[in-house]
Amino acid sequence: MAIYDPKSRKAEEFINDGEIRATLAYAEENKRNVELIDQILEKARPHKTETGVACSGLTHREALVLLACDIPEKVEEIYKIAEEIKLAFYGNRIVMFAPLYLSNYCVNGCVYCPYHHQNKHICRKKLTQEEVRQEVIALQDMGHKRLAIEAGEDPVNNPIEYILECIDTIYSIKHKNGAIRRVNVNIAATTVENYRKLKEAGIGTYILFQETYHKQSYLELHPTGPKHDYDYHTEAMDRAMDGGIDDVGLGVLFGLELYKYEFAGLIMHAEHLEAVHGVGPHTISVPRIKRADDIDPDVFDNSIPDDEFEKIIACIRLAVPYTGMIISTRESEEVRGRALKRGISQISGASRTSVGGYTEEERPHDSEQFDVSDQRTLDEVVRWLMEMGHIPSFCTACYREGRTGDRFMSLCKTGQIINCCHPNALMTLTEYLVDYASEETQKVGFALIERELDKITNEKVRGIAAKNIADIRSSNRRDFRF
């Protein structure tokens, strides 16, 4: 039997089934242990340090006790702390992005995904470089600056060379004042050599969802194709980091397995990255299984209700305080609104989950990966965020300034985000408002920017930001950053 060791490079040792089961039992036993719960809440709370604000995070055992706890006042306390942590490290900024589907050719047999090899009625498509150009222009014309590229796994149709060529094409397109300045990549687990090539191509975050940490379920849910190999998939982030990628994004496809098991696995994975590479996950995504062609989510009987989903988000925020947290348009406006208060820091907007979807007038369904619940335009999402007091940010400065991995984390920890990310968010929001927003959104946005500029504590930075904002409004000068 494998022994739990967060420092091990072997999947079954750092995501250890025995340890997860013991954690589940511990959480069940202690879910009403008020004294312990209070101690854990105290540990999770942000505290002042000489250089700023810091958080200790929680171990997987502590975090699961909170997730299991059903005492209403304690759950409210979890939510309060989650919001405090989000505000302490990310302020009221919400980073915006869009997915770009390159190809839905896939050799895997994932039973929950419509791209699965046996699905004969989905329309298979792979973008040519000219089509990538068209899609990117459509995305730039909406105002997007940051993409997450998505593709099925198919060594013949979508080899790494194809992905690299697409990345090059995406970065090369300069249409009007538009530019894609950060390309995150969500493709299947691959080799260290390929991760190195992705790094050289200038990617932002490498994202790979574990789907489920439960090995037996994983093997059943991925019956055929290279993705069947649980260990290879689970150890992918270590290979990515060995290949030089500093920023990796974890995620679980919630609804496939019992959520407490998945939650413990996810936090253990974050602990493992910290223990081995000295830096935790740059982001954690919280996708939930959705209806899709040839897939009925009702067959997955572990689907989670909205309330539990909200609690999962808050508990991740407490356990892994410095990570960016992402929610996609799989979720409705209502669920996304609630999730934003629980610690989410990045959302997608106006997404199309079909290959070539952005250049079609009507939302196409024949090659879609899953139904999109939030179908609003980017302008509507941006206005909605601002009306709730958030700052939609199109900033991509960190990785372009070399602030990746632990360098980004130290920016968070020293409280310098307010003099760096905050002005960057205001400047990129100004770009968005001037170049792409409706008049109504501009009105809300410019008033917000005026108020938010005052929050920049460093006088010099505040002056430069105000001048740059005025420049963006009166000229075609773009891409200012700290």
| Residues within the interface to ligand SAM (CB under 6 A) | 112-113, 150, 152-153, 186-188, 208-209, 211, 227, 253, 287, 289-290, 292, 295, 330, 369-370
Of 89 and 261, nearer to ligand SAM (C-beta) is 261
User: Which residues, including other chains, have CB under 8 Å from residue 427's CB and lie 6 or more apart?
Assistant: 395, 465, 468, 469, 472, 480, 481
Min CB(372)–ligand SAM separation in Å:
10
For residue 298, the minimal CB distance to ligand SAM (Å) is 12
Q: How far is the CB of 188 from ligand SAM (least distance, A)?
A: 4
Residue 27 or 295: which CB sits closer to ligand SAM?
Answer: 295
Q: Least distance from C-beta 180 to ligand SAM, angstroms?
A: 19
Are 37 and 295 a contacting pair, CB within 8 Å?
Answer: no
Q: Min. distance of Cβ 354 from ligand SAM in angstroms?
A: 11
In the complex, what is the shortest distance from the CB of residue 387 to ligand SAM, in angstroms, rounded to a whole number? 28
Q: Which among 410, 407, 285, 280 is positioned nearest to 348, based on CA atoms?
A: 285
Q: Which is nearer to ligand SAM, 24 or 253 (CB)?
A: 253
Q: 146 in helix, strand or coil?
A: strand
CB closer to ligand SAM out of 370 and 480: 370
Query: Shortest gap between Cβ of 183 and ligand SAM (angstroms)?
Result: 14
Q: Which is nearer to ligand SAM, 155 or 389 (CB)?
A: 155
Query: 113 vs 327, which CB is nearer to ligand SAM?
Result: 113
3-state class (DSSP) for residue 346: strand
CA–CA separation, 348 vs 285, rounded Å?
Answer: 11
Q: How far apart are CA 374 and CA 395, in angstroms?
A: 23
Quote the least distance from Cβ 209 to ligand SAM, whole Å: 4
Q: Do 150 and 102 contact (CB within 8 A), yes or no? A: yes
d(CA 342, CA 82): 6
Q: Within 13 A of 210's CA, how many CA atoms are on the CB side?
A: 34
Q: Which of 135, 4, 10, 96 is nearest to 445 (CA)?
A: 96
DSSP states along 158-207:
S-HHHHHHHHHHHHH---TT----EEEEE-----HHHHHHHHHTT-S-EE
Residue 227 beta carbon to ligand SAM: minimum distance, rounded to whole angstroms: 6
CB nearer to ligand SAM: pick between 127 and 208? 208
> Which CB sits closer to ligand SAM, 171 or 209?
209
Which pair of tokens denotes residue 163? Answer: 């992905």
Of 127 and 295, nearer to ligand SAM (C-beta) is: 295
Report the alpha-carbon distance of residue 270 to residue 237 in Å, rounded. 10
Which residue in 446, 449, 438, 439 sits closest to 378, CA to CA? 438
Residue 364 is which amino acid?
P
* CA 32/CA 45 separation, integer angstroms: 20
To ligand SAM, the closest distance from the beta carbon of 295 in angstroms equals 5
Which C-beta is closer to ligand SAM: that of 86 or that of 290? 290
The answer to whether 204 touches 191, Cβ cutoff 8 Å, is no
Residue closest to 148 by CA, chosen among 403, 334, 346 = 346
Taking the complex as a whole, the smallest distance from the CB of residue 292 to ligand SAM amounts, in Å, to 4
For residues 256 and 209, the answer to whether their CB atoms sit within 8 Å is no
DSSP string, 258-315: -HHHHHHHHHHHHHHHHHHHS---SEEE--B---BTTB-GGG-TT---HHHHHHHHHH
Burial (Cβ within 10 Å: 0-12, 13-18, ≥19) of residue 120: exposed
Q: Which is nearer to ligand SAM, 186 or 393 (CB)?
A: 186
Q: Which two tokens stand for residue 306?
A: 């909205």
Give the residue with the Cβ less far from ligand SAM, 31 or 269: 269
Question: Least separation, in Å, of the C-beta of 313 and ligand SAM?
Answer: 16
Handedness of CA 202, 204, 206, 207 (dihedral sign): negative
Backbone conformation region of residue 106, classed left if phi is above 0, alpha if psi is from -120 to 50, else beta: beta
